[in-house]
Structure 1
C-alpha cells in the first residue's frame, strides 16, 4: 500500500470504536465474557428498572417470544453474542453491565496508541469529535471515561448509537446525525473499518476514511472508492483550507 496523505477541511469527525479507535479483540475477549457472566443477575434482580425492562421487552419482540422468562431472554442474548449481532437491547444491557464494571475499576478501556494524541490535536484545532458505535451510549461514555489515559469525555461533543441514530449501514442514520450536530454532510468525516458503514456515510454526503489496522476482522476487505489509513497519524484535520486525499484507495 502506497504512502498516503489525507487532509480534510471539516468541522467535525465521527468515530467508530471497534477496529477503528480500539481493538475488536479487547471487546470480544474481555467485555463480551464480562457481560455474559452478569446477564442472569441483571435480568432476575433488576428487571423492574426502566432501562432493563424496556430492553427485555425488545428482546421478546425481536425473538418472537412475547412470554420469554429471564432464562429464555438470557439464552437469546448469549446467542446474539455468539453471532456478534448488533441488536439494540443486547447493546443496552451490555452497556449497563460495562458502565458499572468501568465505574468499579473492574474494566479499563483500550485505545490504539495513535488515537488519543490525534483526538487531542484535532480537538485543539477546533474540530468537534463525536462517536457513533453499535455499542450503547452508556457503554460509549464509560469507555471514554475509563481509558488508560484518563477521562477523554471532555474531548467528545456527542455520542450516537443504533437507538438514537439508527442502523450503521443506513444513510438515513448519518443524515440524522448531521441534523443533530448542526453540521452539513460535506463538513463531516466518518472513520470506520466497516465498508458498509463507509458507503452509507458517503451516500449521506459525508467524507469517509477506511481504517485498516492489521489483524482487525475487516482489515482485508476492500473499502471501494474510499481513502484508507492504517493509523490516525495519516489523517490531518482542520476547520479551514481544502480537502486533499492522495495515495491509496481501494
Structure 2
C-alpha cells in the first residue's frame, strides 16, 4: 500500500513551462483587443471586467493598456489570470493549440488515481479555470485528463505557492492531513514551503529547468527520471 494518501502537482512537472510562456501568453496578448471589444458590454463578462482596478476599466483601451503593462512586467494579479483563462478557453475551443504533456505523466497519474486510489490535485499560480482548460485539451493518450484529478488550487483559493500557510490550507480544505501528501514541483522554494507545512515534497527536474545547486540537492529529494521514478517509491 502507498505511504501517501494524496499527491499535489505543480503544472511545471507535467507540462513544459514553455507552453505557457511561448504559446498561451502570446496568444492571450494577440487575441486581447478583439476579445475585449467584442465582450465589453456582455453581462457574462462584466464580473471579470469589474475585478480590475477601478481606474483602468472605463474603456477597453484603458484595460488593454493595463493588461499589457502587467504582462510585460510579469506581475501576477488575479484579475489578469481570470481574463487570460477566458481568452485561452476560446483558443482551446477553436483548436489553436493543445497542452503538451510529458509522455511519462498520463500513465503515472492514471495509475496513481485508478490503481493506487490516491487523491491527485493540481496547484498552480494560474487560475483554477485555466488549469481545468489545460487538462481538458492535452496531447496525451486521453486528451481530457480532468477525471483523474480530485481538485485544483490556485493563489486565490490557497495562497502564494512559496508560503507554508498555503499548503496547510490545501490540507485543511481537502481534509487530508499534511503528512499524507507528496508535493511535486520544479521550484525549490515551493518544495521548501510544502515541507515546512508538514508535507513530503520533491523537486522534479524537467527540460529547461534552472540547474540545481549542491545545497538544494542535499536538502531535498530530486526526481530526475520523471514520474516513473516517483511511482517506484510511493
TM-score normalised by the shorter chain: which range applies? 0.7 to 0.9
1:174 shift after superposition: 1.1
Provide the C-alpha distance between the structure 1 equivalents of 2:117 and 2:220, rounded to a whole number of angstroms.
Answer: 25
Provide the C-alpha distance between the structure 1 equivalents of 2:130 and 2:124, rounded to a whole number of angstroms.
Answer: 9
Q: State whether residues 57 and 63 of structure 2, in contact with CA within 8 Å, keep that contact through their aligned partners in structure 1.
A: no
The structure-2 alpha-carbon separation of the partners of 1:112 and 1:57, relative to structure 1 and needing over 3 Å to count, comes to same
Q: Which residue of 2 aligns with 1:208?
A: 201
- Quote the RMSD (CA, aligned, Å): 2.4
Equivalent residue in structure 2 for 1:192, among 175, 185, 190: 185
Provide the C-alpha distance between the structure 2 equivalents of 1:72 and 1:88, rounded to a whole number of angstroms.
Answer: 18
Q: Which residue of 2 aligns with 1:16?
A: 10
Question: TM-score, length-normalised on structure 1?
Answer: 0.82
Q: Which residue of 1 aligns with 2:98?
A: 108
Q: State whether residues 56 and 62 of structure 2, in contact with CA within 8 Å, keep that contact through their aligned partners in structure 1.
A: no
Structure 1 unaligned residues grouped into runs of 5+: 1-6, 244-250
1:219 shift after superposition: 4.0
1:39 shift after superposition: 1.7
The structure-2 alpha-carbon separation of the partners of 1:66 and 1:79, relative to structure 1 and needing over 3 Å to count, comes to closer
* Alignment map for 1:1-250 (pairs within 5 Å): 9-18=3-12, 20-49=13-42, 52-60=45-53, 65=55, 69-123=59-113, 124-149=115-140, 150-216=143-209, 218-220=210-212, 223=216, 225-230=219-224, 231-236=226-231
Provide the C-alpha distance between the structure 2 equivalents of 1:52 and 1:197, rounded to a whole number of angstroms.
Answer: 33
Structure 2 unaligned residues grouped into runs of 5+: none
1:15 shift after superposition: 0.8
Q: Figure out how many residues of one structure are paired with residues of the other and give that number.
A: 228
Provide the C-alpha distance between the structure 1 equivalents of 2:3 and 2:68, rounded to a whole number of angstroms.
Answer: 43
The structure-2 alpha-carbon separation of the partners of 1:189 and 1:135, relative to structure 1 and needing over 3 Å to count, comes to same
- SS of corresponding position for 2:98: coil
Q: Which moved more, 1:67-76 or 1:42-51?
A: 42-51
- SS of corresponding position for 2:87: helix
The answer to which structure has the higher strand fraction is 1
- CA deviations on 1:106-156 (whole Å, 9 max, x unpaired) are 221111111111111111211111001111111111111111121111100
Q: State whether residues 162 and 190 of structure 2, in contact with CA within 8 Å, keep that contact through their aligned partners in structure 1.
A: yes
The answer to which structure has the higher helix fraction is 2
Provide the C-alpha distance between the structure 2 equivalents of 1:10 and 1:37, rounded to a whole number of angstroms.
Answer: 43
Provide the C-alpha distance between the structure 2 equivalents of 1:206 and 1:49, rounded to a whole number of angstroms.
Answer: 43
1:188 shift after superposition: 0.7
Higher relative contact order (CA 8 A, sep 6+): 1
- SS of corresponding position for 2:207: coil
Q: State whether residues 50 and 57 of structure 2, in contact with CA within 8 Å, keep that contact through their aligned partners in structure 1.
A: no
Q: Which moved more, 1:186-195 or 1:70-79?
A: 70-79
